[in-house]
Amino acid sequence: MSTLLSVSCNKKGTENKLTITKAERIVVLCPSGAEILSTIGAEDHIVARTDFCDYPESLKQIPSIGGFSGDTLSIETILSYKPDFVYGSLGIHDTVKENLENLNIPVYLSETKDIEDILTEIEFMGSVTHHVEESQSVTRQLRIQIKSLNEKKNKNNSIPDVYWEVWNAPFMSAGKKSFINDVINLAGGKNIFSDVEDVYPIISEEAILSRNPDVIIIPVENGITINTLKKRAGWEQIKAVKNESVIFIDSNLFTRPGPRIIQAAEKLYDQLHK
């Protein structure tokens, strides 16, 4: 028989407390959460996922409840899998959380502002699923990789100014409170919008031009090319465009706040300093 377990996730002075049984039937709504559960050996606890929970490949064998957005998810469909725990993302699944908690189903919404938050969440999910040792083993290895990358970065005097384009209609980038800002720093770059408090601020084209980044990072899924950038008014004067210093990234690796984020930072370091 499972017993009640009280666990808490502390992040920068905030605390997310849950009192639950051992989570044995998890509906996971966010791709990063699915990766975390799989990495700590708790994939067999997942009874349902969303369409975007697609890594590792083995997750595709688990039933899907549909798209990622909380607005499109059916509470009835989630309930049909008899979950004892639901794992989503803050700002996307808030309504789902409210509806399910009214039915006494524990819900955790991920909020990761930096890499340390990601490590904390991995260990938190270890507690929730009783995979504590496995989760701590994962975070130990990630901390070793972080230390190694910091040592490499500290020996390199080059710190390129980086513009990370999340979207272009309107222009959106990563701000100070986004884990992406931390990834750029770990990779030895400087986010040109690190002074903006918002997680993903809407920014003006004039601000991008005036800050004149050395490197531009764009998800390959956005369908943008170097020629596209050259056709934007005034962009031919940006250093990154002049020098064709544009890095096209795989969003599935670089924008999911999960266990592969240090791998993403390592790849970005190599691309920024080649």
Assess if residue 206 is contained within a domain: yes
> Which tens digit of pLDDT belongs to each residue from 198-207?
999 999 999 9
9 pLDDT higher than 70: no
Contact status, residue 90 vs residue 109, Cβ threshold 8 Å: yes
Assess if residue 100 is contained within a domain: yes
Give the pLDDT band (50/70/90) at residue 21. low
What is the biggest distance separating any 2 CA atoms in the chain, rounded to whole angstroms? 67
DSSP state, residue 124:
H
Assess if residue 204 is contained within a domain: yes
Judgement on whether residues 14 and 135 belong to the same structural domain of the protein:
yes
Judgement on whether residues 90 and 8 belong to the same structural domain of the protein:
yes
Orientation of helix 115-129 relative to helix 31-39, angle to 10°: 60
Tokens 């972080």 correspond to what residue? 146
> Which tens digit of pLDDT belongs to each residue from 230-242?
999 999 999 999 9
Indicate the number of domains in the chain.
2
DSSP state, residue 167:
E
Contacts of 146 (CB under 8 A, 6+ apart): 115, 186, 262
> Which tens digit of pLDDT belongs to each residue from 220-274?
999 999 999 999 999 999 999 999 999 999 999 999 999 999 999 999 999 999 8
Q: What is the pLDDT of residue 3?
A: 37
| Bridge partners, 86 (sequence order) | 27, 107
Assess if residue 166 is contained within a domain: yes
Total-model pTM? 0.92
> Which tens digit of pLDDT belongs to each residue from 29-73?
999 999 999 999 999 999 999 999 999 999 999 999 999 888 899
Q: What is the pLDDT of residue 16?
A: 56
Rounded mean pLDDT, 172-192: 97
Tokens 């002049």 correspond to what residue? 242
Q: What is the overall mean pLDDT for the chain?
A: 93
- Counting Cβ atoms within 10 Å, is residue 2 exposed (0-12), middle (13-18) or buried (19+)? exposed
Range of the domain at 223: 161-272
**Stronger pLDDT, 261 or 14, i.e. the higher one:** 261
> Which tens digit of pLDDT belongs to each residue from 120-140?
999 999 999 999 999 999 999
14 pLDDT higher than 70: no
Judgement on whether residues 263 and 165 belong to the same structural domain of the protein:
yes
CATH code: domain of residue 81: 3.40.50.1980
Distance CA 218, CA 211 (A): 17
6 pLDDT higher than 70: no
Assess if residue 150 is contained within a domain: no
Q: What is the pLDDT of residue 29?
A: 98
2 pLDDT higher than 80: no
